[in-house]
């Protein structure tokens, strides 16, 4: 093998897909036994690339990887990678932005329907021997209500026809030049929160979006509104959400992602009847996981063999004097 890639953690049950890409390209896999930062930093000392799913790839790890040319993310979000430090060191960072659009859109729709139809309390009651059609509050009719998409990238946009098919009006925050058909643009988050019966978050996590939904925003929502988050847990202030649900300031929430993740076993959000929680698996399906593994691995292959990969998230590095893949200099 000519090159080495450190896999900090990976999305699938095995590395069969990744190995099928790496081995013909002369790339040896170095698999970490844990995501302990010190172990990762030690292993990174002799690799040409790092591929990561959820593990934190910190500045210290990058500083101790003198040969590393690229960091490939098995996923979309980049909050677990110090992209700024990678760029300073001349490393190309990639992600896989469109591998699970249908999966996350479908999962979001499922969560909305589960909340609106009160699936979890009815299912729990029936499974325990009950047969109660009168559990309160009653399910919600979605037709004629307003769906608010906070973020209209690929996933937010994919939800638009799904929600329209339920007879919902759709409002959104996004680039006006690329709004999907039938979406009414909102001027601000506050304007959207005031009119939406369902608020769904579809944003990356950054310094500017962390806790974009906090106590003030929850107070601005309708008391009958539902909050959905299938993006990043840090978009929502968990303690503010807990307080709002307890006080009846909103009607319910469905979360595939939380802060922290996972929530403590005793966290009150786990036991509320108007909350639906799933374990950060909206992205998952048999097809999406194979696509994810294959695409991220191919990004590594391209860089170590001197070719420009798709989905570079720090393009400024290509004109940087520190670029380690010098043959790709623009």
* Catalytically annotated residues: 232, 261, 280
d(CA 51, CA 298): 11
Q: Exposed, middle or buried by CB within 10 Å (0-12, 13-18, 19+), for 85?
A: middle
Tallying the residues shown for the chain, one arrives at: 330
How is 173-205 classified by DSSP, letter by letter?
ES-GGGPPTTEEEPSSHHHHHHH-SEEEE----
Rounded (10°) CA dihedral 217, 218, 220, 224: 150
In the numeric block, the tokens 């930093």 are attached to 41
The number of angstroms, rounded, from the C-alpha of 225 to the middle of its chain's C-alpha atoms is 23
d(CA 91, CA 318): 9
**Which residues is 201 bridged to in the sheet?**
150, 229
Kindly report the backbone phi and psi dihedral angles of residue 95, in degrees, each rounded to the nearest multiple of 5, phi listed first: -135, -175
**Coil vs helix vs strand at 49:** strand
Kindly report the backbone phi and psi dihedral angles of residue 312, in degrees, each rounded to the nearest multiple of 5, phi listed first: -75, 125
Rounded (10°) CA dihedral 286, 287, 289, 292: 180
* Pairing status of strand 226-229 against strand 252-255: parallel
d(CA 149, CA 155): 10
Q: Is-contact 74 56, C-beta < 8 A?
A: no
């Amino acid at each position: 093998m000519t090159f080495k890639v450190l896999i900090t953690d990976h999305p699938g049950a095995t590395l069969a897909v990744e190995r099928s890409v790496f081995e013909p390209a002369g790339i040896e896999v170095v698999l970490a036994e844990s995501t302990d930062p010190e172990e990762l930093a030690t292993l990174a000392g002799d690799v040409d690339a790092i591929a990561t799913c959820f593990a934190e790839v910190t500045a210290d790890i990058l500083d101790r990887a003198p040969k590393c040319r690229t960091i490939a993310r098995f996923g979309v979000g980049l909050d677990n990678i110090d992209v700024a430090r990678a760029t300073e060191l001349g490393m190309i960072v990639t992600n896989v932005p469109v591998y699970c659009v249908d999966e996350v859109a479908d999962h979001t729709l499922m969560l909305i329907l589960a909340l609106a139809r009160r699936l979890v309390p009815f299912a729990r009651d029936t499974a325990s021997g009950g047969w109660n059609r009168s559990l309160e509050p009653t399910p919600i009719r979605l037709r004629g209500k307003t769906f608010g998409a906070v973020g209209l990238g690929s996933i937010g946009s994919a939800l638009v026809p799904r929600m329209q098919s339920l007879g919902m009006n759709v409002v959104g925050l996004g680039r006006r030049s690329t709004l999907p058909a039938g979406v009414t643009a909102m001027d601000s988050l506050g304007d959207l929160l005031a009119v939406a019966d369902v608020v769904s978050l579809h944003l990356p996590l950054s310094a500017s979006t962390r806790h974009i939904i906090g106590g003030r925003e929850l107070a601005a929502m309708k008391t009958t509104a539902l909050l959905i988050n299938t993006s990043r847990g840090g978009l929502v202030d968990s303690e503010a959400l807990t307080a709002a649900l307890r006080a009846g300031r909103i009607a319910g929430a469905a979360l595939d992602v939380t802060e922290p993740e996972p929530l403590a076993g005793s966290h009150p959000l786990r036991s509320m009847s108007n909350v639906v929680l799933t374990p950060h698996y909206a992205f998952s399906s048999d097809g999406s996981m194979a696509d994810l593994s294959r695409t991220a691995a191919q990004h590594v292959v391209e860089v170590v063999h001197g070719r420009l990969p798709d989905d570079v998230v720090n393009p400024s590095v290509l004109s940087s004097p520190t670029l380690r893949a010098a043959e790709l200099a623009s």
